[in-house]
Structure 1
């Protein structure tokens, strides 16, 4: 582990222009990572998503052959939370649909192209708005998990979504000295509730969402 960590430090130094710019954390063992699954490290306040380290992946059945994956990034949003009263936590998340990433440029064009001859687009169209999730309730399920329910606005429609959220770490980011809290979350939605109707019977209606999110205290 130390060999890998030292290599990472030199790689960082090459980018930043000097070994002194690499945080000392990269020369330490993994047991001393800045983040840990320790709820006592989380302090009350308002946090903003770190868009560089927050991703939403989606997975949908393709023709019954296999599952297809895509990814959303550049996600923004806020979290207000007091660890002494989890049920009062609030989340607002904004996902730029137009910045979807898939393995094929042809498929990306399919997701974002306008409808043929003035018809409705197959998926989102060329200028889709933001997908916005706003929490309506948070129920703590264990020391490190919670059930978060809310409303998802997407593709001009709104509907409820419930996700299981797991606390994955908290601490101070050695690059910017910000208090950081991380979560993983999972949810399944029916795309037809948001007007994405293309290929029913061939492309699955159920879409599995996997979220990894880092929040930095403001």
Structure 2
């Protein structure tokens, strides 16, 4: 009888997981940031951090191609760690935070690469200009969050863009046109 009950339980577990639906997660703004870095006259690689993240990650572990991300960060939150430069970045000559308060990324395609790695292609919009970019993403973790006890996921993703493609070309080529853009995000089940 015990073998029969065990077989029924195992069968039920496998049939449930075979039909598991994608899970939608809300981005945690306190643990999600976009970090941009660039070359400065060939001497250093300064960074700027953007916070104020909002969005949704839908993750399907069984069918990664069904996964998606839609996320935004607030331009007004930029911190370059240099007060004057931070204010410049918010101005009309740079990001124009007053007219374009958000930068967004909305995925169109997710491809599993194995070993918790993914290629995520989508539309990146900065300063009113949208370009298709591909990010190399890594699943850092998925499971119950120790603090909230909710299901959670965490990803890091990276790509390289040209800031001039988005109408931000001050001091090119002396200050690098290529920007390494890294996103780190944590999200909890809705």
TM norm. shorter chain > 0.5? yes
Give the structure 2 partner of residue 124 of structure 1: 95
Q: How do 1:101-180 and structure 2 match up within 5 A?
A: 101-113=79-91, 121-127=92-98, 128-180=100-152
**Conserved? CA contact 2:152–2:188, under 8 Å:** yes
Per-residue deviation, 1:126: 4.6
CA distance in 1, matches of 2:75, 2:29: 14
Per-residue deviation, 1:44: 3.0
* Residues 153 and 126 (structure 1), Cα distance of their counterparts in 2 relative to 1, 3 Å cut: closer
Give the structure 2 partner of residue 187 of structure 1: 159
Task: Summarize deviations over 1:132-181 as a string: whole Å, max 9, x none.
Answer: 11101000000300000001111011101110000111222232211111
Give the structure 1 partner of residue 6 of structure 2: none
Q: Does 1:49 align with 2:27?
A: yes
List alignment gaps of at least 5 residues for structure 1. 1-41, 114-120
Q: How do 1:24-35 and structure 2 match up within 5 A?
A: none
In the alignment of these two chains, the number of paired residues is 170
**Conserved? CA contact 1:122–1:197, under 8 Å:** no
List alignment gaps of at least 5 residues for structure 2. 1-19
Per-residue deviation, 1:81: 2.2
- Runs of 4+, deviation exceeding 2 Å: none
- Give the aligned CA root-mean-square deviation in angstroms: 1.5
CA distance in 1, matches of 2:84, 2:75: 17
Give the structure 2 partner of residue 200 of structure 1: 172
